[in-house]
Structure 1
Amino acid sequence: MGDLPGITSRLGHLKELGVDAVWLSPFYSSPQADAGYDVSDYRQVDELFGTLADFDALRDRAHGLGLKVIVDLVPNHTSDQHVWFQEALAAAPGSEARERYMFRPGKDAVPGSGDGTVPPNDWNSLFGGPAWTRITEADGTPGEWYLHLFAAAQPDLNWENPVVRAEFEDVLRFWLDRGVDGFRVDVAHGMVKAEGLPDWSAHVAMVEGTKKRAKEKVPPPPPYFDQDGVHEIYRSWNRLLAGYDGDRVLVAEAWVEPASRLARYIRQDEMQQAFNFGYMCSGWDAEKLGGSIKSSLQAVAEVDRPCTWVLSNHDSVRHPSRFGLSDPTTYPHGISSKDEQPNEALGLARARAATMITMALPGSAYIYQGEELGLPEHTTLAARFRQDPSFIRTKGQETGRDGCRIPLPWAKDEPNFGFSAVPDDGEPAAPWLPQPSKYGRYAADQQSGVEHSTLELYRALLAERRARSLGTGTLRWPRIHKPKAGILAFENSGVLVIANMSEAPVELPRGYRVLLRSQAAAVSHGRVKPNRAVWLVAGQGGA
């Protein structure tokens, strides 16, 4: 499975990479119905991953290396095995235990019958199927329904209940007292639901948000996301974190558009950062990517906060594979062996060029595990290995996220590519998701110290980003920026970035030399090749 001691043993890799912090996905006690995002105890480490003492050792090692530790907080829902939900199942309708969650009576299939066989409203789960499940009461009779915007094993909490709010403030204090530097807040735009829970059956997808309907530039938020009431929660959390020494951060995972709406989550008295999914979903397209950069920077300037940039995460197909599709602007919900198979070499070339863009932008850059190795999606993972609840609930109609969560390859010639330790008395256990054989050539030991490898490119970019203070710089659009022609170009702190997203070579401007290039042969005869990018600085030579 991977565990906390394993992470601790690999923190040196992150230090050498040049990052500032590590964000851990949930490691709390959980039945693992959704990779730990179904939490049964927010103050305990699941035995799969270790102990609280193991977490303390990880924190100490990270801080000793100068790395901050950000943990995942899951406040929209708990596991159905959480003690609160078990108490709610045993309690009566209208009880204090049920008021912690979103229990409601059903509607009658036949008016006036009192059968309650129809869900309270028409909301759908983001993992497929209805967002309501009916329980059997303690006396064995059909009972109320409870809301779960995700899997049925993830009942939504009632954030109108002050008991829920007090509990999560206490959870925040528990981990802050333990030395964490911040929290990535899962489904940060959720929690608060519109009064009356009105019907709303439009389609919502993870990361992408609400599907636009005819003549809509920006779709309205559903009644269960991006409600104004969430902001008071974050104002109270902001005050709580301010009571602790040092820099503490709240990072919002919020599928909200437009960018100006997302910026509301990072106002000065709320959170500090919010993931920029509009940028991630722009794909390999100069107009879309450039437009996202402009709108994002404009929005955050209004609230005087930094922007964030991300190309992949644990909920999305890895960008080297997305960019290798015939349409590199698409955002598939997983890729299976039945789907179009990406062009691996082309996708990696574009991914490395996109990284050149990302690492030169002002703000904060997030790197998904394995991205620094150029890992592609596992696109031929057999159905029997898939664990994503979206795959299960849709009966395979949605491929799901397992393909981007494959364990990392550390060493080409070791069992399981070095992910699983070899016990003294036998063979190592198979990883929780199988690794494709092609991951061997992407292994860290095959790239470390190898000139022009993806790993060394990331190390070089991060070193220059830090040395030149690009994260705190100011972006300027030069004349060479021609997105309609497929050329994305900008300047930040003396670094001129040119990404060629067209199908023809692009002339380098005079008076510059190449500082870094996305691939060894990215530049030829003073021109940037298609699907390549360069960083330039003033001066002669070096092309």
Structure 2
Amino acid sequence: MTIEETVAFSDITADLESTPGQDWRRTAVVYQIYPRSFADSNGDGIGDLPGINHRLPALAELGVDAIWLSPFYKSPQADAGYDVADYRDVDPVFGTLADFDAMLERAHGLGLKVIVDLVPNHSSDEHVWFQQALAAAPGSPERDRYVFREGRGEHGELPPNNWESCFRGPAWTRTTNPDGTPGQWYLHLFDTKQPDWNWENPQVRAEFLDVLRFWLDRGVDGFRVDVAHALIKAPGLPDMKASDEVVEDSEGYFHTGPMWDQDRVHEVYREWRALLDTYSPDRILCAEAWVPSLSRLARYVREDEMHQAFNFDYLESEWDATHLRSVIDSSVAANDEVGAPTTWVLSNHDVVRHVSRLGLPAGPRPNGIRAQDQQPDYQLGLRRARASTLLMLALPGSAYIYQGEELGLPDHTELDDDLRQDPTWWRSGYTEAGRDGCRVPLPWEAGEPGLGFGPGGATWLPQPASYAELARDKQEDVEGSTLEMYRTALAFRRAFALAVGDLEWVDAEPGVVRFVNGELTIAANTGTEAVPMPVGELLMASGELTDHSVLPPDTTVWLLTEVFSE
């Protein structure tokens, strides 16, 4: 099946335009850039801001509305930039503030909004305030900016409570006093080099309001807020209970417990929202909040708080019609209660890419895949990933795309263990692969060293052999390629105003997700057998159709409910 065999792509996109006057924060397709793996300009093997600047036209051509950049701030890179030493400067590995300004200007010139990552739960241990805290005495104002506590036990030799790090191991590290004796303990919900801020301290709250102003004044369009549910901890820092621990997911986010999703965290975001509202009326806040229910997640997007929150329930959904419909229904209902848009996402820099994830048997999502682990079925995963993407892009609301998914990239599942850099790898006792596999540098040109990632061919992580055939230049203008499917779907999504449509379920065969959104009927077959094709003129399909009377397994189609006419 080709576009030409169904409805002419150019006819529709020429005659139908996106709905004017819509708030982009409710409808945008946002493309996540992981800077160190997107594009390298200077040949050191690490992506950077000039590299992003150079490749921005490719994203505008793809058809996304905005980009979100993972951290590029000054950092010792203990957790790939999520350990920030200076929130107001660019790390030299990524460039300079002038490079950022140039990239921002070009993005805006191409019609792309720019969202930057903010990491407010913790800083780097090399942040000047933490260094001051270490040099100061217990009980000092400097220490009160972070979470320092005396240890338990006869000599304070035990951590203050039983909290565990998301990267495995204890969430506390003991300091050493200037005279060499053991000192207090400090909290780090992540790595030892990522001490948690004390958000009960007014100085910390004022500091982050100023950081927001710094980037807003430079012209950014908003912020994705890392670990947004963790800033406020329960009073007294009580021990975790066994009931908290059993809901741990594959990344170590415990979902419930005294360090997560405390009601008072919303005070912070109401302050931030009030600040953003003093700027132009279309700045955005988006929460990364792993919380136990969609109703709790909706609290982050109430009218006076954030505009969006990542929908991890959808990301973690099985390729199963009943499950998908339930999550979609629950997501829309929870957000409708607070008047917020629903976001949809399938991959990001913290999870196994959905091409690989969907090529594994159903079950818990692994925290990375090693060479000795069960290997995904790539062709099965790709079919399901393409079908999942067409389903996602037809849903009302906003959608997020992780760099490289438009090429059908899998995780690097055979990465040499000696090359792993994710702190989870060593903090888990070398048992969990962690996130390196989804962070491998992108392939741009198949015939170039490093697949065109940068001059000289160096890459901070090696690319798997499979990336050569998936390079962008191998897929451009190739009918049926994953890249062209994304381009076409994004154009039709805009042309048919699917992001602002209304979802209406249609009864379907077992294993099929089927709904109407505006002029389109969408059907996704998650089952193992072909089913009759729904009525309508075929607009596009996620896979090849040899018989237009049936919808094959692991395939999604978009059909015109009423035949389009000029």
TM-score range, shorter chain: over 0.9
The counterpart of 1:461, out of the listed 464, 482, 489, is 489
Q: Which residue number corresponds to residue 442 of structure 1?
A: 470
Render the CA deviation track for 1:309-368: whole Å, top value 9, x for unaligned.
Answer: 0000000000011111122x5311111111111111110000000001000000001000
Aligned structure 1 segments of 4 or more residues deviating by more than 3 angstroms = 203-211, 539-542
Question: Which SS does the other structure have where 2:141 is aligned?
Answer: coil
Distance in 1, matches of 2:285 and 2:228, equals: 10
1:22-33 matches, cutoff 5 A: 22-33=67-78
The counterpart of 2:83, out of the listed 33, 38, 43, is 38
Q: Which residue number corresponds to residue 537 of structure 2?
A: 513
Structure-2 change in CA distance of 1:525 and 1:182 (3 Å): closer
Matched-pair contact (CA < 8 Å) for 2:168–2:252 = no
What is the identity percentage for the equivalent residue pairs of Structure 1 and Structure 2? Answer: 60
One-letter amino acid matched to 2:370: S
1:40-79 matches, cutoff 5 A: 40-79=85-124
Is residue 348 from structure 1 mapped to residue 382 from structure 2 by the alignment? yes
One-letter amino acid matched to 2:511: G
Matched-pair contact (CA < 8 Å) for 2:250–2:364 = no
One-letter amino acid matched to 1:353: A
Distance in 1, matches of 2:561 and 2:529, equals: 24
Render the CA deviation track for 1:349-402: whole Å, top value 9, x for unaligned.
Answer: 000000010000000010000011010110000111100000111122111000
Render the CA deviation track for 1:426-479: whole Å, top value 9, x for unaligned.
Answer: xx4x21111011100110000011111000000000001111111111100012
Q: Which residue number corresponds to residue 5 of structure 2?
A: none
Q: Which residue number corresponds to residue 216 of structure 1?
A: none
One-letter amino acid matched to 1:407: P
Distance in 2, matches of 1:210 and 1:54, equals: 34
Q: Which residue number corresponds to residue 214 of structure 1?
A: none
Distance in 2, matches of 1:93 and 1:66, equals: 51
One-letter amino acid matched to 2:331: S
Distance in 2, matches of 1:191 and 1:473, equals: 35
Is residue 162 from structure 1 mapped to residue 202 from structure 2 by the alignment? yes
Question: Which SS does the other structure have where 1:19 is aligned?
Answer: coil
Q: Which residue number corresponds to residue 185 of structure 1?
A: 225
One-letter amino acid matched to 2:516: E
1:158-237 matches, cutoff 5 A: 158-200=198-240, 202=245, 205=248, 221-237=256-272
One-letter amino acid matched to 2:412: H
Distance in 1, matches of 2:98 and 2:281, equals: 23
Question: Which SS does the other structure have where 1:88 is aligned?
Answer: helix
Distance in 2, matches of 1:186 and 1:540, equals: 44
Q: Give the root-mean-square deviation of aligned CA atoms.
A: 1.5
Q: Which residue number corresponds to residue 549 of structure 2?
A: 526
One-letter amino acid matched to 1:495: L
Matched-pair contact (CA < 8 Å) for 2:52–2:103 = yes
Q: CA deviation at 1:491?
A: 1.1
Distance in 2, matches of 1:283 and 1:463, equals: 27
The structure with higher relative contact order (CA 8 Å, sep 6+) is: 2
TM-score with structure 2 setting the length: 0.89
Distance in 2, matches of 1:124 and 1:415, equals: 42
Q: Which residue number corresponds to residue 480 of structure 2?
A: 452
Structure-2 change in CA distance of 1:205 and 1:70 (3 Å): farther
Matched-pair contact (CA < 8 Å) for 1:208–1:255 = no
The counterpart of 2:352, out of the listed 311, 317, 323, is 317
Distance in 2, matches of 1:487 and 1:315, equals: 29
Q: Which residue number corresponds to residue 490 of structure 1?
A: 515
Question: Which SS does the other structure have where 1:524 is aligned?
Answer: coil
Q: Which residue number corresponds to residue 504 of structure 1?
A: 529
Is residue 303 from structure 1 mapped to residue 374 from structure 2 by the alignment? no
Matched-pair contact (CA < 8 Å) for 1:514–1:541 = no
Q: CA deviation at 1:257?
A: 2.4
Matched-pair contact (CA < 8 Å) for 1:209–1:256 = no
One-letter amino acid matched to 1:496: T
Distance in 1, matches of 2:247 and 2:159, equals: 19
Question: Which SS does the other structure have where 2:275 is aligned?
Answer: helix
Q: CA deviation at 1:261?
A: 0.8
Q: CA deviation at 1:106?
A: 0.1
Render the CA deviation track for 1:26-71: whole Å, top value 9, x for unaligned.
Answer: 0000000001000000000000000000000000000000000000
Question: Which SS does the other structure have where 1:261 is aligned?
Answer: helix
Render the CA deviation track for 1:129-184: whole Å, top value 9, x for unaligned.
Answer: 00000000122110000000000000000000000000000000000000000000
The counterpart of 1:372, out of the listed 403, 406, 409, is 406
Q: CA deviation at 1:290?
A: 1.2
Structure-2 change in CA distance of 1:144 and 1:353 (3 Å): same
Q: How many equivalent pairs are there? A: 517
The counterpart of 1:105, out of the listed 138, 150, 171, is 150
Q: CA deviation at 1:246?
A: 3.9
Q: CA deviation at 1:285?
A: 1.4
Question: Which SS does the other structure have where 1:367 is aligned?
Answer: strand
Render the CA deviation track for 1:194-235: whole Å, top value 9, x for unaligned.
Answer: 001010051565687766xxxxxxx7x210010011101000
Matched-pair contact (CA < 8 Å) for 2:251–2:367 = no
Moved more, 173-182 or 529-538: 529-538
One-letter amino acid matched to 2:144: E
The counterpart of 1:82, out of the listed 98, 120, 127, is 127
Structure-2 change in CA distance of 1:134 and 1:172 (3 Å): same
Q: CA deviation at 1:525?
A: 4.3
Distance in 1, matches of 2:265 and 2:104, equals: 30
Q: Which residue number corresponds to residue 215 of structure 1?
A: none
Distance in 2, matches of 1:195 and 1:489, equals: 47
Distance in 2, matches of 1:9 and 1:206, equals: 38
Is residue 479 from structure 1 mapped to residue 507 from structure 2 by the alignment? yes
The counterpart of 1:123, out of the listed 158, 163, 173, is 163
Q: CA deviation at 1:294?
A: 0.4
Query: Structure 2: which 5+ residue stretches go unaligned?
Result: 1-45
TM-score with structure 1 setting the length: 0.93
